[in-house]
Structure 1
Amino acid sequence: MMLRQLSLKYNIFTSIALTKSESNSVGTLANTSYALKDNIVTRDAPTTCSSRILTNYVSPFESTVSRLLAEEGSHLVGKTNMDEFGMGNSCLNSHFGPTLNPLYEQKSDIVDLKEKEFWTRGEKITEDLTFENPHTDTYLHRNYLVSELKSDYKVDPEMRIVGGSSGGSAAAVAADLVDYAVGTDTGGSVRLPSCYTSIFGFKPSYGRISRWGLIPYAQSLDTIGIMSKDIKLVRRVFGVLDKYDSSDPTSVSQENRIYDDNLNSKIKIGIPAEMSLGNLEDDVKEKWRKMLKQLQKSPKFELFLISLPSLSKSLPAYYTLVTSEASSNLARYDGIRYGYRTGEYTSVEPEFAKTRSEGFGVEVKRRIILGSYSLSSYGYKSHFMNATNVRSKLIQEFNRVFKEPHMLNKNHNPDGIDFILCPTATSLPPLVSQYQKVTPVESYMNDILTVPFSLAGLPAINIPLGRSVGFQVAGQLGHDYKVLKFAQMIDELQIR
Structure 2
Amino acid sequence: MSETNAFITRTDIESDDSGPLDGQTVAVKDNISTKGVRTTCGSAMLEEYVPPYDATVVSKLKDAGATIVGKTNMDEFGMGTTTETSAFGATENPAAPGRVPGGSSGGSAAAVAAGEADLALGSDTGGSVRCPAAFCGVVGIKPTYGLVSRYGLVAYANSLEQIGPIAPTVESAAQLLEVIAGDDSHDATTRETDATYADAADGDVDGLTVGVPTELVDGADDAVVEQFEATLDSLCEQGAETVEVSLPSVETAVQAYYVIAMSEASSNLARFDGVRYGPDTEAEGNWNDSFAAVREEGFGEEVKRRILLGTYALSAGYHDKYYKKAQDARAWVRQDFAEAFESADVIASPTMPVAPFERGESLDDPLQMYLADANTVPVNLANLPAISVPAGETEEGPVGLQLVGEAFDERTIIRTASAAE
Could you tell me how far apart the structure 2 residues matched to 1:315 and 1:321 are? 10
The residue type paired with residue 337 of structure 2 is: F
Q: Kindly report which structure 2 residues correspond to 1:296-307, keeping only aligned pairs within 5 A, or say none.
A: 296-298=236-238, 300-307=239-246
Distance 1:433 1:360, change over 3 A: closer
- The answer to whether structure 1 residue 42 and structure 2 residue 31 are counterparts is no
- Compared CA separation, residues 329 and 9, structure 1 to 2 (3 A): same
- Contact 2:272 / 2:295 at 8 angstroms: preserved in 1? yes
Shift of 1:486: 1.7
1:313-337 Cα shifts (integer Å, max 9, x gaps): 1000000000000000000001112
Q: Deviations over 1:255-282 (max 9, x none)?
A: 7x765959774111100021233x2223
CA deviation map 1:296-347 (0-9, x unaligned): 344x211100011111110000000000000000000011123423233334
Say whether 1:189 aligns with 2:124: no
Amino acid at match of 1:242: A
1:450 partner amino acid: T
Write the letter of the residue equivalent to 1:294: S
**1:454 is matched with which residue?**
380
SS at match of 1:274: helix
Counterpart for residue 464 of structure 1: 390
Q: Secondary structure at the match of 2:145?
A: coil
Check 1:203–1:348 CA distance in 2 against 1; reply closer, same or farther (3 A cut).
Answer: closer
Equivalents in 2 of 1:232, 1:315: separation in Å? 31
Q: With structure 1 as the length reference, what TM-score do the two structures score?
A: 0.80
Is the CA contact 1:25–1:31 (under 8 Å) kept in the aligned structure 2? no
Check conservation: 1:259, 1:479, Cα contact below 8 A: no
Q: CA deviation at 1:25?
A: 5.2
Are 2:2 and 1:61 equivalent residues in the alignment?
A: no
The answer to whether structure 1 residue 272 and structure 2 residue 213 are counterparts is yes
Q: What SS does the corresponding residue of 2:3 show, helix, strand or coil?
A: helix
1:431 Cα offset (Å): 0.8
- Superimposed CA distance per residue, residues 89-146 of structure 1 (whole angstroms, 9 cap, x where no aligned partner): 01000111111111234xxxxxxxxxxxxxxxxxxxxxxxxxxxxxxxxxxxxxxxxx
Aligned counterparts of 1:25 and 1:230: Cα–Cα separation in 2: 24
Matches of 2:265 and 2:363, distance apart in 1: 23
Q: What TM-score results when the alignment is normalised by the length of structure 2?
A: 0.94
User: How many percent of aligned residue pairs carry the same amino acid?
Assistant: 40
SS at structure 2 position matched to 1:254:
coil
Q: After the TM superposition, which residues 15-414 of structure 1 pair with which residues of structure 2 at under 5 Å, given as runs?
A: 15-17=9-11, 20-24=12-16, 26-105=18-97, 159-251=98-190, 253-254=191-192, 265-277=206-218, 279-298=219-238, 300-347=239-286, 350-402=289-341, 413=342
Q: 1:202 to 1:361 in 2, by over 3 A?
A: same
Paired amino acid for 2:172? L
Shift of 1:11: 1.2
Which residue identity is paired with 2:23? Answer: N
The CA deviation string for residues 44-83 of structure 1, in whole angstroms up to 9 with x for no partner, is 3100101111111001111101111011110000000100
The 8 Å contact of residues 43 and 300 in structure 2, kept in 1 or not, is answered as: yes
**3-state secondary structure, aligned to 1:466:** strand
Gaps of 5+ in 1: 1-6, 106-158, 403-412, 492-496
Moved more, 341-350 or 195-204: 341-350
Partners of 1:276 and 1:63 lie apart in 2 by 37
Matched-pair contact (CA < 8 Å) for 1:211–1:223: yes
Tell me, what secondary structure is at the counterpart of 1:9? coil
Aligned alpha-carbon RMSD (Å): 1.8
The alignment partner of 2:60 has SS state of: helix
Q: Distance in 1 between matches of 2:185 and 2:117?
A: 30
Kindly tell me: are residues 10 and 345 of structure 1, through their superposed partners in 2, closer, same or farther at Cα, counting changes over 3 Å? farther
Q: 1:427 is matched with which residue: 337, 344, 354?
A: 354
Within 2, Cα distance between the matches of 1:212 and 1:349?
A: 31
Go from structure 1 to structure 2 and tell me whether the alpha carbon gap of 1:51 and 1:293 turns closer, same or farther (over 3 Å shift).
Answer: same
Using the alignment, how far apart are the partners of 1:224 and 1:168 within structure 2? 14
Q: Does structure 2 conserve the Cα–Cα contact (< 8 Å) formed by 1:81 and 1:169?
A: yes
Q: Which residue of 2 aligns with 1:444?
A: 370
The residue matched to 1:355 in structure 2 has which SS? Answer: helix
